Amino acid sequence: MIEKQRSISRWVDVAFMLLLVAVVIAAFWEPLTSDKALLTGDSKMASVRSNADTLLSSIFRGWHARTRLGWPLTTASWSPRRLLALLLSPAWYVKMAYFVDSVMLAFAMYVWVRIKGMAPFSALCGAVALVLAGHSFTLVNAGHMGKFGMFPYVVFGFLCMDLALSGKAFVLFALGGLCWAMALGQQPDITIMTALLLAGFCLFRLSGIWRQRGWIGLQRPSLGLVLSLFAFFAVAAPSIIGQYASHVKGAHHMQNDMSTFHGANRARSPEAKWGWATQWSLPPEDTLEFVAPCIFGVHSKHPDLPYHGRYGSTPVAPGIPSRGKREEGQYMSALVFLIGFLAIFGVSRRRAALPSKWRRYRSDVLFWCAAGVVTYLLALGKYAPLYQWVYTLPKFSAIRNPIKFLYAFEICTALIFAYGVEFFTDAIAIENANGRKNDQQPEPVPTPKPEPLTPAQARRRRKRRRE
């Protein structure tokens, strides 16, 4: 019976994952079924062809000291989907790269939610919420392929670390480090930002292990984290060297040469460097677009509804802001937040009043809720004081655009949304079970009324009471 239930559960998972593929196909239906290309911004045809030629020539030329599997150290690292560049035209490679990365992201999120013990429908909802999250998904318009290539490996990295810290196979620590190394090669700055969320998650899990088992329980996960770091640096070392040369050193050169303010001395001032690093911060009023899209326009180049907010603006002179610039949207759906608040409300009750299942989920929901608040405040950048602390961390001054913390925020909201769907479906199931139980209970049999006493019986009873 148990094996039969497991078999049914596997087929249900397969069906829901195929449904996820259908959702991604629907999202990319127009470019996949037409000759329209997605070549904008970073996805230029010349760069795609150059990357394919570099990879192909290195395969036949052999190993080179300045490359890793044929990928130059100063550019994005190698990933499996780049092999598609050898088989497809540049236009179709870009389309399929977006499609494959989105499917991988959906699968990673689905599996992560399922291993937490939630139902397939909850995992499906969480995966769809993450794949179609406004900020990351609409960056197709900007052509930021590296961010699409990075995001699945980040979620797979969280999945592996979650399983490993839960006591599963020790090798999962190494797989987690490998996933984060692959993510770093695709988009180093966002990988570092989401790694801060990973660090908080690991500390949260380690504190739970310490409360249950004491210091002895921390030995295995500590060794596992060391293995994860070793695997990460073993794979990511070439990318780290190249990215440091091109991004960190290059960022300092850009800061020194920029003309955000008039005058060379001002351009090198701490205020100018701060303005350069926080140019793309999320304005607080743009938060409304999480639940109501396009309040301030679609994007800056839209012919009918151009963006007219403060996002991306830089002062052309002290006190005179320039016009904002935006290439993506921020919409996440009001339903995601409403159902997410349902989960937070559900676990905010006294622990003893919760079902045993939700006692296990309570700490996780509260952690992801707190992490979502922190990452949102960091995404505000110059519009909130919290990012000033992150800016002081080593090399963080060379990382631009605090709004990239929305990637970590989207992970938090998708997970809380999945918990909310699970809580909602559980509440409906409990209500239906109670209703069926009430329907099955027999009607109570009325107790017969006692017959009245005769006068003689009443006299005998009064006599016994007096005695």
Distances (CA, A) of 148 to 33, 97, 102, 134, 151: 21, 8, 7, 13, 6
Eight-state DSSP code of residue 77: P
Contact between 92 and 111 (Cβ < 8 Å):
no
Averaged pLDDT for residues 277-288 = 91
List strand residue ranges (DSSP E) for 219-341, in order.
315-317, 320-321
pLDDT of residue 145: 83
Query: 271 or 71: which carries more pLDDT confidence?
Result: 271
pLDDT of residue 71: 43
Give 273's pLDDT tier (boundaries 50, 70, 90). Answer: confident
Give 14's pLDDT tier (boundaries 50, 70, 90). Answer: very high
Decide if pLDDT at 323 tops 90. no
Decide if pLDDT at 106 tops 80. yes
Nearest Cα residue to 364 out of 133, 154, 165, 104: 165
Query: 216 or 45: which carries more pLDDT confidence?
Result: 216
Contact between 325 and 311 (Cβ < 8 Å):
yes
What's the CA gap between 123 and 417, in Å, rounded? Answer: 10
Long-range contact pairs involving 381-387 (C-beta distance under 8 Å, separation at least 24): 381/278, 381/280, 381/281, 381/282, 382/274, 382/275, 382/278, 382/281, 383/281, 383/282, 383/283, 383/284, 384/284, 387/278, 387/281
* Span of 103-117, 183-197, 246-260 with lowest mean pLDDT: 246-260
For residue 122, give both structure tokens: 């909850």
Decide if pLDDT at 160 tops 50. yes
Q: What is the dihedral of CA 169, 174, 180, 181, to 10 degrees?
A: -160
- Count structural domains, the chain: 1
pLDDT of residue 462: 75
Q: Tell me: the pLDDT tens digits for 212-226?
A: 888 888 999 999 999
Nearest Cα residue to 103 out of 13, 162, 24: 24
Give 67's pLDDT tier (boundaries 50, 70, 90). Answer: very low
Query: 464 or 302: which carries more pLDDT confidence?
Result: 302
Locate all alpha helices (DSSP H) within 312-355, ordered by sequence.
Answer: 334-347
Eight-state DSSP code of residue 317: E
Sign of CA pseudo-dihedral 392, 398, 402, 408: negative
Residue 442 lies in a domain: no
Query: 364 or 271: which carries more pLDDT confidence?
Result: 364
Decide if pLDDT at 298 tops 90. no
Identify the domain containing residue 262 by its residue range.
Answer: 33-282+330-433
Residue 8 lies in a domain: no
Nearest Cα residue to 409 out of 365, 378, 366: 378
Residue 80 lies in a domain: yes
Contact between 174 and 235 (Cβ < 8 Å):
no
Residue 288 lies in a domain: no
pLDDT of residue 7: 62
Q: Tell me: the pLDDT tens digits for 419-458?
A: 999 999 888 887 777 766 665 656 666 666 666 767 777 7
Give 210's pLDDT tier (boundaries 50, 70, 90). Answer: very high
What's the CA gap between 37 and 98, in Å, rounded? Answer: 12
Nearest Cα residue to 402 out of 270, 311, 307: 311
Residue 170 lies in a domain: yes
Mean pLDDT of the chain: 81
Distances (CA, A) of 236 to 64, 72, 178, 179, 192: 17, 13, 8, 10, 13
Bridge pairing between strands 71-72 and 67-68: antiparallel
Which run of H or of E encompasses 383? none
Contact between 137 and 145 (Cβ < 8 Å):
no
Residue 2 lies in a domain: no
Give 414's pLDDT tier (boundaries 50, 70, 90). Answer: very high
Contact between 260 and 314 (Cβ < 8 Å):
yes
The share of the chain scoring above pLDDT 70, in percent, equals 77
pLDDT of residue 265: 44
Question: In whole angstroms, what separates CA 431 from the centre of its chain?
Answer: 32
Contact between 147 and 139 (Cβ < 8 Å):
yes
Q: Tell me: the pLDDT tens digits for 380-409?
A: 999 999 999 988 887 788 788 899 999 999
pLDDT of residue 306: 87
pLDDT of residue 125: 96
Decide if pLDDT at 266 tops 50. no
What's the CA gap between 147 and 245, in Å, rounded? Answer: 20
Eight-state DSSP code of residue 381: G
Decide if pLDDT at 74 tops 50. no
Query: 136 or 452: which carries more pLDDT confidence?
Result: 136
What's the CA gap between 143 and 39, in Å, rounded? Answer: 7
Residue 81 lies in a domain: yes
Decide if pLDDT at 85 tops 60. yes
Nearest Cα residue to 340 out of 364, 361, 369, 363: 369
What's the CA gap between 324 and 318, in Å, rounded? Answer: 16
pLDDT of residue 259: 44
pLDDT of residue 72: 44
Eight-state DSSP code of residue 318: T
* Span of 157-171, 207-221, 317-331, 446-460 with lowest mean pLDDT: 446-460
Contact between 40 and 142 (Cβ < 8 Å):
yes
pLDDT of residue 327: 85
Highest mean pLDDT: which range of 35-44, 74-83, 137-146, 343-352:
137-146
pTM attached to this predicted model: 0.84
Residue 25 lies in a domain: no
For residue 32, give both structure tokens: 């996949």
Question: In whole angstroms, what separates CA 258 from the centre of its chain?
Answer: 33
